[in-house]
Each structure stands twice: as C-alpha cells, then as structure tokens.
Amino acid sequence: MNRTDSPTGISRRQLLRSSLTIGAVLAGGRTASAAPAQFDAWRDAFRARAEARGISAATYTRVMGRIEPDMSVFKQMRNQPEFREQIWQYINRRVSDWRLIAGKEALRKQQALFARIEKDFGVERGTLLALWGVESAYGDPLVQQNHMRPVFPSLAALAWNEPRRRSYWEAELINALRIVERGWSTPEEMRGSWAGAMGHTQWMPEVWLNVGIDYDHDGRVSPFGKPDDALGSTARYLVNRGKYHRNEHWGYEVRASGASSEASRTYAAWAAAGVTRADGQAFPQPNTSAKLWIPVAGGPAFLLGPNFYAVRSYNPSMNYALAICHLGDRILGAGPFIQPFPGSERALTLAEVQEVQTRLTKAGFDTGGTDGRVGNDTMKAVKDFQTKAGLLPADGYAGLKVLARLRQGN
C-alpha cells in the first residue's frame, strides 16, 4: 500500500484512551453555524499541502470547499467524562450480560467469517468478537446513527486549531482525504467519534489506509457495512502491529502465592516456581513465554502471553486488554475469574441493568434508553443519583448497591 502520513510515536489509540469504547462514545455534537474567519484562510492554505500529497483539486473542493469546523471537538477534548472506576468495575461494565448475549449471537451469524479469519491470520475468534463488541456493540447501526458525527468537520477543526498535536491531526485529515480520493468512501459515509475513529472496530484514517484490506472482495476497503473488512483488517493489525502469535492463547488466570517477577519465563518455568492455573488445568503450551501480572493485591493474578500485549497494541490500557481477553473467553463459554477482586461485586444481569435504567428514568435521571447497555448517559445518571442519594463514592457505577437504593425508593 502507498505510504500515508503518520507521525512516529503516536499510536492509533493514544489519543482515544477514554472515549472510543462504545460505553464511552460521546454523543455527536453540531458544527458551528459559521466558520471562523481564520479557518477560511487556513483551509485555503492547506489546499496546497494536500495537493502536494496527492489529493486532487476536485477531491479537496468536494470535501473541504464549503466545510465548517466542528468547534465542539475542543469542548469534548477538555470535558472527557471522568468516572473513577476500580478495575473490577471497569471489567464488569465491558464484560456485561448484554455483550455476552449479543456476542454469542454475533458469532452464530458470522461463524464462517471468523473461521476464515482464524485460518488466514491465526487470531482467536474470541479476541475479535470482544474488540467488535466493545468498540461498536457488534456493529449496531444505532450506534452509528446516534453517537457518531461526520469526521471531516472534526478533523478539520483539530488540524486547524489544536496546537499540541497539530501535525498528527493534519496527517489524519490528509489520510481521510486519501480515502475519498481512492473511492473507498464518501464524506457523507465517513462518520465516527469526535477524533475521527470509524466503523465496526473504530479505525483512524491512517489504519484504514495502511492496514485495511478488501476482505469481502467488493473492490474497496471499508470499516462500515458488512463486518468482513473491519474484522479481517483488525486481525491483520493485531498480527502486523501487535505481533500476535498464531495458535497461542492470550494467557491464564493463575495462583501465584509468593511469586513476583516482571521477567518473561516459559509456562514450564512458572509452573516449576509454583505458579499454577487457577482452574487446576495444565498449561497447554509449556514452552511458550509469559509475564506475571497482579493488577491489585489480593485479587486475581495472570500469566500474560504475547497475544495479551497484541491486544494492548490496540489500546494501551492494561485494563482494556484484560477486559477484551476476558470478554472473548466468556463469549466462548468460560466462566468469571476464580479469584475475585477485593471489594468487588458481581456484574448486574441484563434484566437488572434494564431495571436500573427504568427506575432512574422514572426518577428523573435520563439514561438515554433502557436497553441494558451502560454508556455515558447511564453512568452520568447513576452518578447524579448517587450524589442526590448520598451514596458515596458517586462513581457512576451501576451496581447492586445502586439497584438496592433505587428499589427502596419505590
């Protein structure tokens, strides 16, 4: 593929750590009613730079000729929702009853696609299912409709007036223009997060261009519509950029009493040191290597293989990678972690989440729906309710304590 502009040192996910899981996608804002005068001058000057990088005058005029910057992106950057989740809360929200049920149905519908991807790339179907579920609720069209915005007004605003990473945003704007230039998409179709991540698995334009493949053989590369291109390309991303190892599991929950080491050892060496799988089974590949990680003292411990870190290449959060790996295992039939996190509680069932949402809505706290999915609207409603009811900490977590207090109110 042709080289695209992407400054070194900035990963696909670094700018999006807190906003691109579907539970945290921000509702789309509206562009300003009129473009600031300084923007018009910048847009005219940027034309020459875009054309020097292979963007035709026709494409630039089509996309940028009358564009107005989405000035709300700067407010979004400043006002990311802050919910101080403990790791067990973070995992419970992502490994939810809704995602498990919907993930099993998605696998049923796409069995052939996942089998093909496993054959071609060696990436476990559970990992891809979990990424798909967390990033776009398995491609739910309502997510695209209700929570995504046109990306060009956002990228144009950021490329024009975001001083800290302006070169990054300029590069991504040109990459997005290249997508239109190639005929892979249209400005109207290219809707995404405030930062420009799009489709089933939330691609930035650079990833679309450099990693995307036409996996459904329809003549274009697209993260929208059928999930073939998005999931096949995401598997390619994990292999090429994450160094995913074919036929290896991501890792295992273990019992590691007294063990501590940041060094990578073979599973056989860990076993010799007294580290065993929490479920009592043997390590299936004793000569492959892993690192020990204990996220919270007194909680579950894990041996993490290379494929855990491949998932982490998609989002640099250890908690995110653990949630993805665990969700994938759960969709495929595994149970919860054997050792609970200190102070944790079980995740609410789908019916219980819906009850929380229904009771909050009746009490005047808008959850944005009662579908059993916990996103920012529900978390804000929970936090506001906790504050009013004196439930501390007011952390926005929709758990058993919130449900019990809501039931007391009726």
DSSP 334-359: --S-SSPPTT--PPPPHHHHHHHHHH
pLDDT over 90 (residue 291): yes
pLDDT over 70 (residue 85): yes
Are residues 172 and 54 in contact, defined by beta-carbon separation less than 8 angstroms?
no
Are residues 138 and 152 in contact, defined by beta-carbon separation less than 8 angstroms?
no
Q: Which residue has the higher pLDDT, 105 or 76?
A: 105
Tell the residue number behind the tokens 């495929």, with chain if given. Answer: 332
Tell me the β-bridge partners of 290. 265
Tens-place pLDDT, residues 127-163: 999 999 999 999 998 887 778 999 999 999 999 999 8
Q: Which two tokens stand for residue 45?
A: 């000057």
CB atoms under 10 Å from CB of 36, counted, come to 15
3-class secondary structure per residue, 148-159: CEEHHHHHHHHH
> Most distant CA pair in the chain: distance in Å?
69
Q: Which domains does the chain have, with CATH numbers?
A: 1-246+308-343 (no CATH), 251-304 (no CATH), 350-408 (1.10.101)
Write down the pLDDT at residue 106.
Answer: 98
Which of 229, 227, 226 lies closest to 213, judged by CA?
Answer: 229
Tell the residue number behind the tokens 């190639």, with chain if given. Answer: 182
Length of the chain: 410
Report d(CA 7, CA 11) in Å as an integer: 9
Q: Is the dihedral of CA 61, 62, 66, 71 positive or negative?
A: negative
CB atoms under 10 Å from CB of 227, counted, come to 25
Report d(CA 206, CA 221) in Å as an integer: 13
Tens-place pLDDT, residues 29-68: 334 445 577 999 999 999 999 999 999 999 999 999 999 9
Secondary structure of residue 194 in the 3-state scheme: coil
pLDDT over 50 (residue 386): yes
- In the predicted model, what is the mean pLDDT of the chain? 90
